[in-house]
Amino acid sequence: MKSCITISLVEEARGGPFVLWDGLEQSIAFAAELGYDAVEIFAPGPEVIDVDALRSMLDSANLKLAALGTGAGWVKHRLQLADPDAGKREQARAFVRSIIDCAGQFNAAAIIGSMQGPSGHTGDPDTARGYLCEALEDGGAHAAQYDVPLIYEPLNRYETRQCCTVEDGVGMLESLSTNNVRLLCDLFHMNIEEADIAAALLQGGKWVGHVHFVDSNRRPVGLGHMQYGPIIDALKQINYEGYLCAEAFPYPDQHEAARQTMRAYRYWTGN
Ligand code: LER
Ligand code: MN
C-alpha cells in the first residue's frame, strides 16, 4: 500500500476535508519532504492544470499523481450526474470526461464523489441511480483509453442517497456493462454507514480501487476513534496495493495533519 495526500486548489471548498492548500508547487514540495508517494488533486477544472508544469513538478519531487477529483463540477459549477435536466447531465458527463482526459495523461484516475448528486433528496431515487449508471458507463469507457479505471465513491447518507455502502456500490458496479469502474472506500463515510468497516472492505475485494485514509471525526488518522488494525488486515487480505490517501481536515493545521498522517501510515503499514 502506498501513501498519498490531498491538495485542494478550490477556494470554494475552504473548510473542507483536504489537507494541503498552498498551491501545487509548495504542496508538492511539502508532500515530497514528508516522504509521500503520491498526491490527489482537487482542482476547479482541467484548465487550471498545466500538464507539462505539473509533470515536471511531480518528476522532480519523485511523486506520482494518484487521482484528480471531479467535485468542483458540483461545488463550483453545480453540475451533477443525476440532474433531471438532460442537457445539464450531459454537461456534467462532459466535465467528468475532461477531468479523465487530464488525469489520464499522468496514468491517474478521476474520482466521482459529490458529482453523483444527492439524488433521492430531490426526485425519484431509481431514476437518479439510472442516470448515475449511465454516467459511470460513459466515464468508465472513456477512462479505459488511458488504461486507468474511473473511481466511484459511496458517500454517507447526509451527502447522497445514491450508494452509501460498499455492498450497494459493488452491486451497482456489477450491474454495469463496463468493467472499468472501481470503488473509493472513504473511511469517514464508512464509519457512518457500515456495520463493520473491515468486513465491508473484505466484501469490496477486487472492487476496492482507492482509499481515503482518515479518522472517524474526519481528522487525520490517529486523532479519532477508528480501529485501524482490522482495517489494515482486511486491506492486506484483499491484496490491496493502491493508495491510502489522506483526505482529512487540516487539523490542527495542514502541515501537522500531513505529518500526523505520515506517522500513522508508517505505523500501520510498516513502510
Ligand atoms: C470526497 O472525497 C468526499 O469524501 C466528499 O465527502 C466530499 O464532500
Ligand atoms: Mn472522500
In this predicted structure, what is the pLDDT of residue 122?
A: 66
Q: What pLDDT does residue 121 have?
A: 62
Identity of residue 232: I
Contact 132, 82 (CB under 8 A): yes
Instruction: Could you list the beta-strand ranges (E) of the chain.
Output: 2-8, 38-42, 64-69, 109-112, 150-152, 181-186, 208-213, 243-246
pLDDT at 124: 87
Q: Is 155 in the pocket of ligand 1 (CB under 6 A)?
A: yes
Average pLDDT rounded to a whole number, residues 242-258: 98
pLDDT at 116: 96
Ligand minimally distant from the alpha carbon of residue 70: 1
Q: DSSP label at 121?
A: G
Q: How far is the CA of 28 from the centre of ligand 2 (A)?
A: 20
Could you tell me the pLDDT band of residue 106, with boundaries at 50, 70 and 90? very high
Give the count of alpha carbons within 13 A of 193, CB side only: 25
Q: Ligand 1: which of 155, 163, 187 to mutate, judged by most atoms within 8 Å of the beta carbon?
A: 155
CA 81 vs CA 13, 25, 89: distances in Å: 19, 32, 5
Q: Which residue's CA is the nearest one to ligand 1's atom 1?
A: 113
pLDDT above 70 as % of the chain: 99
What whole-number distance in Å separates Cα of residue 53 and Cα of residue 41? Answer: 14
187 lines ligand 1 (CB under 6 A): no
198-228 residue pLDDT tens:
999 999 999 999 999 999 999 999 999 999 9
Mean pLDDT, the chain, as a whole number?
Answer: 97
**24 pLDDT more than 70:** yes
Please report, as a single letter, which amino acid is at residue 159.
E
Give residues with Cβ within 8 angstroms of 44, minimum separation 6.
Answer: 9, 10, 72, 76
pLDDT band at 117 (very low <50, low <70, confident <90, very high): confident
CB of 83 closer than 6 angstroms to any ligand 1 atom? no
Residue 153 Cα: closest atom of ligand 1:
2
Per-residue model confidence (pLDDT) at position 137: 98
Cα 138 from Cα 118, distance rounded (Å): 20
Ion ligand 2 contact residues with beta carbon within 5 A = 186, 212, 247
Contact 184, 155 (CB under 8 A): no
The number of angstroms, rounded, from the C-alpha of 30 to the middle of its chain's C-alpha atoms is 21
What residues pair up with 213 in beta bridges, in sequence order? 246
pLDDT band at 36 (very low <50, low <70, confident <90, very high): very high
In whole angstroms, give the CA distance from residue 236 to residue 95. Answer: 35
d(CA 68, CA 81): 17
**191 close to ligand 1 (CB < 6 Angstrom):** no
Distances (CA, A) of 35 to 29, 31, 38, 94, 167: 10, 6, 9, 35, 34
Which CATH number fits the domain 2-269, given the four candidates 3.40.630.30, 3.40.50.1170, 3.20.20.70, 3.20.20.150?
3.20.20.150
Task: Tell me how far the alpha carbon of residue 70 is from its chain's centroid.
Answer: 9
Q: How far is the CA of 113 from the centre of ligand 1 (A)?
A: 6
Beta bridge partners of residue 110, listed in sequence order: 68
Comparing 122 with 258, which gets the higher pLDDT? 258
User: Is the pTM here over 0.85, yes or no?
Assistant: yes
Q: Whose CA is nearest to atom 7 of ligand 1?
A: 114
* pLDDT surpassing 80 at residue 120: no
In whole angstroms, give the CA distance from residue 250 to residue 21: 9
Q: 56 CA distance to ligand 1 centroid (A)? A: 28
Tell me the CA distances in angstroms from 86 to 38, 92, 96, 112, one per residue in order.
Answer: 36, 10, 15, 19
**Helix residue ranges per DSSP H, 62-196:** 72-75, 86-104, 125-144, 166-175, 187-193
**C-alpha cell, 249:** 481536515
Pocket test for ligand 1, best of 186, 217, 243, 245 (most atoms within 8 A of CB): 186
